[in-house]
Amino acid sequence: MEYRKLGSIDLELSTIAYGAFAIGGTMWGGNEKKDSIESIKASIDNGVTSIDTAPFYGFGLSEEMIGEAIKDYDRTKIQLLTKFGLVWDGSNQGKGEFFFNSEKAGKSLPIYKYASKENVIKEVEESLMRLQTDYIDLLQIHWPDSTTPISETMEAFEILLKQGKIRAAGVSNYNISQVIEASKNVNISSNQIGYSMLNRGIENDLIPYALENNLGIIVYSPMERGLLAGNYFKKGKLKDDDHRNEYFQQFDMSKVKTFLDAITPLALDKGATLSQLVLRWTSLQPAITIVLAGARNANQAIANAKAIDIDLNTEEIRFINTELLKI
């Protein structure tokens, strides 16, 4: 495994990090608890020391399973990354910015973006309990909240840093102006943002900014929620409650399939799967510090970790990039 420093702070993360959205079950059609916990342990056993989660993932379930899974490991050698700012339990008392309607136990549940100082501190205490730890390595705001001044949210970060309850502050889904505003108050270590072979918009602005200002970039959905793994084109059927049925409609699926067919021989030549090739390509892009990869079981987790072992030379990366231009 490779390990990289995040921004300008003394916090080193595994280049491939465990993304814990899917194991929470929310919007992903569910997952077996035993398989989820084994996937976390398998990741750690194979060098993936960084685990990214959020209270919203399974409405606390993801954090709880992580807390259970890491009990037998040296906590100082594991980096826990979590978030705040998506509220579903009504504790915001009507405040914040409505985001979307989710579902819990068969009932519609409104989700709000809410990042007031009081709520941030409250959510961190709840996360610490679920994760069974006394500190969080990297705390991130999940989504910008237009109803709360960024300076107020950053004030909460300052308090938590002084208390030692978090080691570093990060943002997620922020644009450059929001990152600049947040950085006036707190040393922002990273921005977690969506990026993949099919979603490269940040290369136009955020990537150059990150390179110039030593901002860590943590990317989610590098596999485009499994599409780039290629299995969808073999099976083509997801559970009815899987959000990807709608999500995949944004892509020209015939062009995506043609692209995957084109790079499959390269993956085979490397003794790798498509997923591993895609993860490694992503990790080698400019300014990309950490790549999040989800896993529903131990085998998937081990495969994700081993993606870092793939050696891609300049010519091979150029070949992939040329094929991408055809999508």
Give the active site residues. Answer: 57
The Cα–Cα gap between 231 and 255 comes to: 15
The Cα–Cα gap between 284 and 267 comes to: 16
Q: Which two tokens stand for residue 22?
A: 């899917």
Closest by Cα among 294, 302, 298 to 18: 294
The Cα–Cα gap between 15 and 256 comes to: 26
The HSE-up count of residue 227 (CA atoms within 13 Å, CB side) is 25
| CB-based burial label for 173 (10 Å; 0-12, 13-18, 19+) | middle
Asked whether the beta carbons of 236 and 225 are under 8 A apart, the reply is: no
Which letter does DSSP use for residue 10 in this model? S
DSSP helix/strand/coil, 145: coil
Question: What number of other Cβ atoms are within 10 A of residue 303's Cβ?
Answer: 19
Q: Helix-strand-coil percent breakdown of the chain, rounded to 5?
A: 45, 20, 35
Q: Which two tokens stand for residue 48?
A: 């993936």
